[in-house]
């Protein structure tokens, strides 16, 4: 039976830098998504539904990341009797994955590590099956097969399997010297080696590669970042902003090689087409590959991502998908807030309520090398006719740039100017005019 939900306001805190929202009476000490302090939190009221359904249904959720967790949370809020099971191949419940590169060397098992403390799942009667992977879905029988030999039946399935690190196909990529950073187990593996290593090569000059490089440099390691593109963070920055960032990195003692053509990983580092970088640890940070194979094998529509509509429905009416593995209108930003929101929408609709997803503002923030970089949207990489407005103060490492196309703000970059970053996000989201 479905009973329309009653809405109530709940106190929450919104990070004005990355837009992440956290419920509670006080703001978190630092934003677990972008690392900013409590001064960046503004109090907001979010609407919550008490609950609306008492249907005795079984919800199975594949993946215990943020999309899986928010789906489970929304289902439980609306249905206190349904069976909800999260199945994850990781050994721990959902944690703040963005912290992995930001707190690479910190002790991660802190209160802020978990999104919800492990006890919360029992209190909410949400079953967690950890350290077990789902290896197939039978959409006709509405069952999933688990790696421990068990089978689960479902009424509604939420597919939130996230993504994995992209391993570049070069010889030596499977050597012991190589590490990726996607899971807490990866961080533990790096921490275990740290005392034995002096030099690190990071393949990939995107935001995660830079974060890892910065953390390892702070730990006293000799770090070289190898970027195959012409400049670092080339998906989020323009060349001039990237050069400001690179100069700051080099001032911090980190070497960045752009246009790097990696040929092979050996036991002593990375061979390039025109040289060699010595390293005792090689971190590959070269993008992600969405975990879609099992869903495609089950007949769901998609390609690189699973296709979903605005209610996170896949081509199968009883299967929803959300997070890094899903794309709405063909778009997936691979960002935390997107996964959080898509999981929420998947749960709401799977349980029989109704809410539509709207694209988030794609914000990327990087703090390191003594500077703060903030980028929103399309900054000249989308093949449009752009107009650029800029105001820089090179002596203070301040860089401001706004991009418009057809009179509409498409994106912007603010380095060492947080206030502008917030304004760009607001103007971008609300399609407002903005000038420097």
Ligand X SMILES: Cc1cc2nc3c(=O)[nH]c(=O)nc-3n(C[C@H](O)[C@H](O)[C@H](O)COP(=O)(O)OP(=O)(O)OC[C@H]3O[C@@H](n4cnc5c(N)ncnc54)[C@H](O)[C@@H]3O)c2cc1C
Q: How far is the CB of 377 from ligand X (least distance, A)?
A: 14
User: Does 160 contact ligand X by CB under 6 A?
Assistant: yes
**Coil, strand or helix at 275:** strand
Contact 392, 416 (CB under 8 A): no
Write out the two tokens for 83: 């069976």
**Cα dihedral angle (42, 43, 49, 50), rounded to 10 degrees?**
140
Distance of CA 435 to the CA centre of its chain: 30
User: Rounded to the nearest 5°, which phi and psi values hold at 389?
Assistant: -120, 135
- Specify the stretch interacting with ligand X by CB under 6 A; choose among 110-118, 275-283, 334-342, 385-393: 334-342
Query: What's the distance, CA 116 to chain centroid?
Result: 17
Nearer to ligand X by Cβ, of 67 and 271: the residue is 67
Residue 67 binding ligand X, by CB under 6 A: yes
Return the residue of 30, 53, 128, 163 that touches ligand X, per CB under 6 A: 163
Binding mask 176-205 for ligand X (x = CB under 6 A): -----xx-----------------------
Q: What are phi and psi of 80, to 5 degrees?
A: -85, -10
Q: What angle do CA 59, 348, 133 make, to 5 degrees?
A: 35
Q: Which is nearer to ligand X, 5 or 103 (CB)?
A: 103
CB nearer ligand X, residue 83 or residue 323: 323
# binding residues, ligand X (CB under 6 A): 35
Min dist. Cβ of residue 11 to ligand X (A): 23
Q: Of 154-162, 244-252, 300-308, 420-428, which segment contacts ligand X by CB under 6 A?
A: 154-162
Structure letter (DSSP) for residue 360: P
Q: Using the rule CB under 6 A, is 233 a contact of ligand X?
A: no
- Contact residue for ligand X among 19, 206, 213, 323 (CB under 6 A): 323
Q: Which of 253, 259, 255, 293 is nearest to 273 (CA)?
A: 259
Q: Does 133 bind ligand X (CB under 6 A)?
A: yes
Q: How far is the CB of 392 from ligand X (least distance, A)?
A: 25
What is the 3-state composition of the chain as percent helix, strand, coil, each rounded to the nearest 5?
A: 25, 35, 45
Taking contact as CB under 6 A, which single stretch among the options 39-47, 59-67, 233-241, 375-383 is the one that binds ligand X?
59-67
Among 14, 97, 156, 313, binds ligand X (CB under 6 A): 97
Give Cα separations from 366 to 35, 209, 402 (angstroms): 9, 11, 18
Nearer to ligand X, 61 or 256 (CB): 61
Q: Is 90 in the site for ligand X (CB under 6 A)?
A: yes
Q: Which helix (H) or strand (E) holds 255?
A: strand 255-258
* Strand bridging mode 222-227 / 255-258: parallel
Rule CB under 6 A: which residues touch ligand X? 33-34, 62-68, 87-90, 97-98, 100-101, 133-134, 160-163, 181-182, 208, 291, 294, 323-324, 334-337, 339
């Amino acid at each position: 039976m479905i009973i329309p939900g009653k809405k109530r306001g709940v106190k929450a805190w919104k990070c004005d830098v990355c837009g992440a929202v956290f419920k509670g009476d006080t703001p978190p000490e630092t934003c677990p998504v972008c690392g900013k302090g409590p001064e960046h939190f503004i109090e907001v009221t979010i609407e919550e539904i008490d609950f609306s359904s008492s249907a005795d249904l079984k919800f199975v959720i594949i993946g215990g990341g943020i999309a899986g967790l928010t789906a489970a949370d929304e289902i439980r809020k609306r249905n206190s009797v349904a069976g909800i099971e999260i199945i994850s191949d990781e050994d721990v419940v959902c944690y703040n994955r963005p912290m992995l590169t930001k707190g690479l060397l910190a002790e991660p098992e802190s209160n802020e590590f978990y999104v919800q403390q492990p006890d919360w799942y029992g209190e909410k009667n949400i079953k967690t099956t950890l350290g077990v992977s789902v290896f197939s879905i039978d959409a006709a029988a509405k069952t999933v097969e688990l790696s421990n030999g068990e089978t689960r039946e479902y009424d509604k399935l939420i597919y939130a399997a996230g993504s994995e690190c992209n391993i570049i196909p070069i010889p030596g990529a499977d050597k012991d010297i190589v590490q990726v950073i996607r899971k807490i187990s990866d961080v533990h593996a790096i921490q275990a080696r740290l005392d034995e290593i002096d030099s690190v090569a990071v393949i990939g000059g995107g935001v995660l590669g830079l974060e890892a490089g910065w953390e390892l440099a702070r730990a006293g390691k000799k770090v070289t970042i190898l970027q195959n593109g012409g400049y670092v963070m080339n998906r989020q920055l323009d060349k001039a902003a990237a050069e400001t960032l690179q100069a700051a990195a080099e001032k911090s003692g980190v070497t960045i090689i752009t246009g790097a053509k990696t040929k092979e990983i050996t036991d002593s580092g990375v061979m390039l087409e025109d040289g060699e970088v010595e390293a005792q640890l090689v971190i590959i940070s070269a993008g992600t590959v969405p975990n879609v194979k099992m869903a495609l094998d089950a007949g769901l529509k998609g390609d690189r991502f699973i296709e979903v509509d605005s209610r996170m429905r896949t081509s199968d009416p009883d299967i929803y998908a959300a997070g890094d593995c899903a794309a709405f209108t063909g778009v997936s930003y691979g960002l935390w807030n997107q996964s959080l929101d898509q999981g929420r929408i998947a749960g709401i609709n799977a349980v029989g309520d109704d809410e539509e997803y709207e694209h988030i503002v794609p914000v990327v923030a990087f703090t390191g090398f003594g500077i703060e970089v903030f980028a929103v949207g399309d900054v000249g990489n989308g093949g449009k006719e752009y107009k650029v407005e800029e105001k820089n103060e090179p002596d203070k490492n301040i860089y401001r740039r706004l991009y418009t196309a057809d009179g509409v703000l498409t994106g912007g970059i603010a380095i060492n100017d947080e206030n502008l970053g917030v304004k760009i996000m607001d103007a971008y989201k609300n399609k407002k005019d903005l000038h420097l």
